[in-house]
Amino acid sequence: MIDLYPTSLRLLGRRVLVVGGGAVSERRTRALLDAGARVTLVAPEAVEGLSSLAAAGLIDWQRRGYRDGDLHGIWFAHTATGDPATDARVAADAEEVRVWCVNAGDHLASSAWTPAVARIDDVVVSVNAGGDPRRASAIRNAIRVDAQSGRLPWRRHRDRPDPKATGRAAGRVALVGGGPGDAGLITLRGRQLLAEADVVVADRLGPRSLLGELAPGVRVIEVGKAPGAHTATQEQINQVLVDEAVVGHLVVRLKGGDPFVFGRGGEEAQYCRSRGIDVEIVPGVTSALSVPAAAGIPVTHRGVAAGFSVATGHAELGELPARPDHTIILLMGVGRLAESVATLLGRGLAGETPVAIIESGWTPEQRVTIGTLETITAQAADRRVGNPAVIVIGDVVRLSTYAAPAPVLPEPATAGR
């Protein structure tokens, strides 16, 4: 289509004419209202959606057929009456007065075409496909999916508004939960924000492989924490987020798991907002639930466990249910494993209660150790178990694909055999 010149119309406050009261006209009218146009509808009858818009005062509905003069003062027209003769008349009149007109009944006779549109944040993608609306919609949908999954170069290159002119910081912060480590477990929104990012403030855990896919020029600031070896304090991390956003950057704080599950995301969000920085929270797949799943352990299971609790060490265990049918999940608990086991045994939990330790869940280094409260401390020491690891305590551990199969008991003898 070499005679097609793609462009976008700014219709805010401008008068637009829609002729026809059917479903097509309703879709176009709603899109025109979203663009801020002042819509006049000409149709003897209209579908319920258009009637509702008129009743709400959002459009001017002229309950009659099209007539001469309806295009006076109009910037843009759309006709979809279902009557080829009427649509052709509207299009011809528009041509005469030099008003761009979409003729939904005959795209080849239209002076303008309506594309399939995807709006993603402040980006608008319009697709024309040789007059084939279904083909255009399919391509539009594929572009939307690619954008949301971070496969398109979504990063800005022009400067953001001057914070002095707007009275607020030009940049913003996104706290993105990256999941337990596998890049496939981050959300689509998280991938999209990474594709837009100017600066990524990265943890030691989470989907580190995605850092290699960042656009050229994106800075990565490492603030990962390991037991006994902190690259940056939490106060320093908070300040980095603010400093980078103040100068206009989109800052993505890429965290392992979920930022609001023992991730200190709430502290970071409060610090940024108290200094006038917009913050977006993107939840992640928390390791508390996903890492047990990587070992084939459901944290609840009908007839086995009806609830679960998540803690970070033995201190909280005195307040949690101590029953094998209530799953206990310990995060960052390897260093205090012996104390946690002693606490649970002291509260009456049986020594044969199953325990699983899953190290580096969802990574090629994943390793699973299964024992009982009586044996797990010695097993962990013998195997030199280390963080990152998730500890699962309760009968659900028996369901793991790594657990020893239950013994098969002989069937009882049948009477008379």
pLDDT digits (tens, 9 = 90+) for 74-120: 999 999 999 999 999 999 999 999 999 999 988 888 899 888 888 87
Task: Please indicate, yes or no, whether residues 184 and 251 belong to a single structural domain of this protein.
Answer: yes
Instruction: Report the mean per-residue pLDDT for the chain.
Output: 89
> In the prediction, which pLDDT does 338 show?
94
The tokens for 58 are: 């959002």
> In the prediction, which pLDDT does 318 show?
84
Alpha helices in 23-151 (DSSP H): 23-34, 48-55, 84-96, 133-148
**Which residue ranges in the chain fall short of pLDDT 50?**
409, 417
**How many independent structural domains does the chain possess?**
3
Question: Tens digit of pLDDT for each residue in 40-50?
Answer: 999 999 999 99
The pTM assigned to this predicted structure is 0.69
* CA torsion angle 258 261 264 270 (round to 10): 90
Please classify residue 363 by burial: count the beta carbons closer than 10 Å to its beta carbon, then call 0-12 exposed, 13-18 middle and 19+ buried: middle
Instruction: Return d(Cα 327, Cα 393) in angstroms, integer.
Output: 6
Last residue within a domain, chosen from 147, 177, 198 = 147
Instruction: Return d(Cα 193, Cα 149) in angstroms, integer.
Output: 9
Give bridge partners of residue 177 from the DSSP assignment: 255
Asked if residue 10 belongs to a domain, the reply is no
Last residue within a domain, chosen from 285, 315, 342 = 285
Asked if residue 152 belongs to a domain, the reply is no
Task: Give me the residue label for tokens 């979809």.
Answer: 80
**Amino acid identity at 322:** A
225 belongs to the catalytic site: yes
Question: Strand 116-120 relative to strand 123-127: parallel, antiparallel, unpaired?
Answer: antiparallel
Task: Please indicate, yes or no, whether residues 344 and 305 belong to a single structural domain of this protein.
Answer: yes
> In the prediction, which pLDDT does 160 show?
57
- CATH code for the domain in which residue 316 is found: 3.30.950.10
- CATH code for the domain in which residue 195 is found: 3.40.1010.10
**Which of these is catalytic: 93, 198, 203, 258?**
203
Cis, peptide link before residue 180, omega less than 30° from 0: no
Task: Please indicate, yes or no, whether residues 83 and 22 belong to a single structural domain of this protein.
Answer: yes
Asked if residue 271 belongs to a domain, the reply is yes
**Which of these is catalytic: 83, 146, 225, 325?**
225
Task: Please indicate, yes or no, whether residues 79 and 125 belong to a single structural domain of this protein.
Answer: yes
> In the prediction, which pLDDT does 6 show?
82
Last residue within a domain, chosen from 285, 314, 329 = 285
Task: Please indicate, yes or no, whether residues 304 and 318 belong to a single structural domain of this protein.
Answer: yes
Task: Please indicate, yes or no, whether residues 29 and 137 belong to a single structural domain of this protein.
Answer: yes
Do 375 and 383 contact (CB within 8 A), yes or no?
no
Task: Please indicate, yes or no, whether residues 236 and 295 belong to a single structural domain of this protein.
Answer: no
> In the prediction, which pLDDT does 392 show?
97
Q: Which domain holds residue 277?
A: 168-285
DSSP reduced 3-state for 25: helix
Which of 190, 167, 201 has the alpha carbon at shortest distance from 278? 167
> In the prediction, which pLDDT does 169 show?
57
Task: Please indicate, yes or no, whether residues 172 and 234 belong to a single structural domain of this protein.
Answer: yes
> In the prediction, which pLDDT does 417 show?
44
CA angle, corner 58, sides to 56 and 62, nearest 5? 95
Task: Please indicate, yes or no, whether residues 130 and 57 belong to a single structural domain of this protein.
Answer: yes
162 belongs to the catalytic site: no
Task: Please indicate, yes or no, whether residues 139 and 214 belong to a single structural domain of this protein.
Answer: no
Element at 276 (helix H, strand E): none
Instruction: Return d(Cα 292, Cα 349) in angstroms, integer.
Output: 21
Task: Please indicate, yes or no, whether residues 88 and 25 belong to a single structural domain of this protein.
Answer: yes
Asked if residue 133 belongs to a domain, the reply is yes
Asked if residue 154 belongs to a domain, the reply is no
> In the prediction, which pLDDT does 232 show?
85
Task: Please indicate, yes or no, whether residues 274 and 208 belong to a single structural domain of this protein.
Answer: yes
Instruction: Return d(Cα 117, Cα 28) in angstroms, integer.
Output: 12
Asked if residue 415 belongs to a domain, the reply is no
Greatest Cα-to-Cα distance within the chain, rounded to the nearest angstrom = 102
Question: Tens digit of pLDDT for each residue in 153-197?
Answer: 877 776 655 555 555 557 999 999 999 989 999 999 999 999 999
Do 208 and 180 contact (CB within 8 A), yes or no?
no
- CATH code for the domain in which residue 138 is found: 3.40.50.720
Asked if residue 162 belongs to a domain, the reply is no
